Amino acid sequence: GLASLDAALSPKETDYLFYISDKNGINRYADTLGEHNNNIEKYGL
């Protein structure tokens, strides 16, 4: 809806470069490739 469009036009500033959605649909964020790879291993993706 409108909130999605607003968020796309004005995203929050973060240091995150990577994200995955785990098996429960929870987004897991990382700011380094190493953290991202750990998330993949930890959450079984």
Any domain includes 23: yes
Distances (CA, A) of 37 to 2, 9, 15, 23, 27: 34, 29, 16, 16, 14
Residue 20 covered by a domain? yes
Q: Confirm whether 5 is domain-assigned.
A: no
Task: Using the structure block, give the residue that is written with the tokens 């500033």.
Answer: 13
DSSP character for 20? E
Q: What is the pLDDT of residue 41?
A: 96
pLDDT by residue (tens digit) across 2-45? Answer: 999 998 999 888 889 999 999 999 999 999 999 999 999 999 88
pTM score, whole prediction: 0.69
Is 34 among the domain residues?
Answer: yes
**Structural domain harbouring 42:** 13-45
Q: Which neighbouring-strand residues pair with 20?
A: 28
Domain contains 1: no
How far is C-alpha 15 from the geometric centre of its chain's CA atoms?
A: 11
